Structure formats: structure tokens, C-alpha cells
């Protein structure tokens, strides 16, 4: 599985998104992580379809849209029409998760399912063969800049085992929350493939250098680690 860096624009400068995306592109970002929050499922509001449509014009990188909203089924088509390439939905709000995964794929995007820190891995057992990727939340969603929850490492391993047992050996695991230069190596060693990072990329003033350093650390861990 190849490593991908997915900077989260949640911590970017919203008045200069084009500039910030150019910077992370130069720094080696592989996809742009877009955090959509509705003030219901999570206690914060962010951005919606029009911003994704504008981002589509600003970058050729895949747009990785993480829907932290109570009714994702209503918005999947508008987000994909606007240019989302990857769409991830939370298992906690979807009674018909299998149908939702099918809808995302039918509309031409890659389908991811997301697990909150308190959601057991078994919640995705019945769809493990169907997903294109799994997103493990390593903080409680809602805000950037939170501290990585150490228990997430065991969860990443358990998700890998579940996907492999279902025969879905090629589905990557995305890890989101508190990924930085300290936590990235253990995350990669545990089986994290796609690394979301907000504060670690945009928090220190030079997103290009920060993205490059984080990606280098991830690649180094993937080469030298236990995977």
C-alpha cells in the first residue's frame, strides 16, 4: 500500500486556499482532505459544496471529502458533482451503510467509511469487502489541533486484520487526527497508509516545508518499519 499525505485544509488560511494548496502540492501532498461539518454530528461548522467546487478548479490533486454530517446521503451526489474524488462517511449515522457505499461508487467516487474513537471495529465487519478505504479517527471529530489518542494504534491494526480477512487486502487505511512528526511513525508502523494532517502542516507558517517533512517521515517509517 502506498503512503499518501492528505493535508486537511481545516487549518489552512480560508482567505488564501489556492495559495495554501499550491504550497502543499510543492511539499508533496497526494490529496486534499476537506472536512465538512454540520454543527449537529460534530460541534463545529465548516464548509460545503461551493468550496469543493472552487477547490476543484484550483487543484488537480484528488479531493478527499470527509463528511461529518448527520445525513450524508443527501449530500453525496452534490459533493461528487462538485468534484470530490473520495468520499468518506461515518458509520455512526448510517443505518444503511451498504447502500451508501454503493451510491458513492455508482456516482464514480471512491467510498470510505469512518470510525469514531469510541466505535468498535466490528461496526464495519459486514461491509469490509465493499469499501475502497477505511478512515480511523484518532481524535474525536470536530476540531483540528487535538492530541492523538494512543489507543488508535491498536485500532489501525484491527482494521487491517479485518480488511485482510475479508479479502480486501488493497484497501488503504486513512488516519485522521493528531498526526504529526512524533505520531506519524507509529501510525505508519501500525498500518496507516493515508495520513491526514491539519495543524502539523498548516500550523507553523510554512506549509510546503511542513508537508515535505511529514511525508518524508512517513516514507521513512514505511521503509524501515515493521511493514
**Residues taking part in catalysis:** 35, 176
Is residue 196 a contact residue for ligand DX5 (CB under 6 A)? Answer: yes
- d(C-alpha 94, C-alpha 66), whole Å: 14
CA-closest candidate to residue 54, choices 82, 29, 19: 82
Instruction: Write the binding mask 20 to 59 for ligand DX5: x where contact by CB under 6 A, - elsewhere.
Output: -------------x-x------------------------
**From 176, 190, 200, 202, residue interacting with Zn ion (rule: CB under 5 A):** 176
DSSP string, 183-225: THHHHHHHT--EEEESHHHHTTS-HHHHHHHHHHHHHHHHHHS
Is residue 4 a contact residue for ligand DX5 (CB under 6 A)? Answer: no
**From 35, 64, 132, 180, residue interacting with Zn ion (rule: CB under 5 A):** 35
Among ligand DX5, Zn ion, none, residue 198 binds (CB under 5-8 Å by kind): ligand DX5
Beta bridge partner(s), residue 7: 197
Among ligand DX5, Zn ion, none, residue 177 binds (CB under 5-8 Å by kind): ligand DX5
Among Zn ion, ligand DX5, none, residue 225 binds (CB under 5-8 Å by kind): none
DSSP string, 65-84: EEEESS-GGGTHHHHHHHT-
* Minimum distance of ligand DX5 from residue 1's CB (angstroms): 20
- Counting residues that bind Zn ion (by CB under 5 A) gives 3
Q: In terms of CB distance, is 47 or 200 closer to ligand DX5? A: 200
Beta bridge partner(s), residue 35: 66
Q: How many other C-beta atoms lie within 10 A of the C-beta of residue 152?
A: 25
Q: In terms of CB distance, is 142 or 225 closer to ligand DX5? A: 142
**From 117, 145, 186, 225, residue interacting with ligand DX5 (rule: CB under 6 A):** 145
- d(C-alpha 163, C-alpha 127), whole Å: 9
Q: Which stretch binds ligand DX5 (CB under 6 A): 73-81, 124-132, 143-151, 163-171?
A: 143-151
Instruction: Determine the Cα angle at 61 with ends 172 and 209, to 5°.
Output: 90
- d(C-alpha 89, C-alpha 135), whole Å: 9
Binding residues (CB under 6 A) for ligand DX5: these are 8, 10-11, 33, 35, 66, 139, 141-146, 176-179, 196-200
Amino acid at each position: 500500500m502506498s503512503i499518501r499525505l492528505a493535508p486537511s485544509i481545516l487549518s489552512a488560511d480560508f482567505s488564501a486556499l489556492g495559495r495554501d494548496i499550491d504550497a502543499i502540492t510543492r511539499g508533496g501532498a497526494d490529496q486534499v482532505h476537506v472536512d465538512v461539518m454540520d454543527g449537529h454530528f460534530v460541534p463545529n461548522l465548516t464548509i460545503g459544496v461551493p468550496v469543493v467546487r472552487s477547490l476543484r478548479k484550483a487543484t488537480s490533486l484528488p479531493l478527499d471529502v470527509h463528511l461529518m454530517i448527520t445525513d450524508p446521503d443527501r449530500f453525496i451526489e452534490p459533493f461528487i458533482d462538485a468534484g470530490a474524488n473520495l468520499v468518506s462517511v461515518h458509520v455512526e449515522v448510517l443505518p444503511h451503510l451498504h447502500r451508501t457505499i454503493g451510491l458513492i461508487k455508482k456516482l464514480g467516487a471512491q467510498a470510505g467509511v469512518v470510525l469514531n474513537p469510541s466505535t468498535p471495529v466490528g461496526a464495519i465487519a459486514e461491509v469490509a469487502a465493499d469499501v475502497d478505504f477505511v478512515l480511523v479517527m484518532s481524535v474525536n471529530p470536530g476540531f483540528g489541533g487535538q492530541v492523538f489518542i494512543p489507543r488508535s494504534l491498536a485500532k489501525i491494526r484491527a482494521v487491517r486484520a479485518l480488511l485482510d480477512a475479508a479479502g480486501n487486502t488493497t484497501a488503504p487505511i486513512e488516519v485522521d487526527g493528531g498526526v504529526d512528526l512524533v505520531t506519524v511513525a507509529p501510525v505508519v508502523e501500525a498500518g496507516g497508509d493515508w495520513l491526514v494532517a491539519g495543524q502539523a502542516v498548516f500550523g507553523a507558517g510554512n506549509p510546503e516545508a511542513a508537508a515535505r517533512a511529514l511525508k518524508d517521515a512517513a516514507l521513512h517509517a514505511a521503509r524501515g518499519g515493521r511493514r
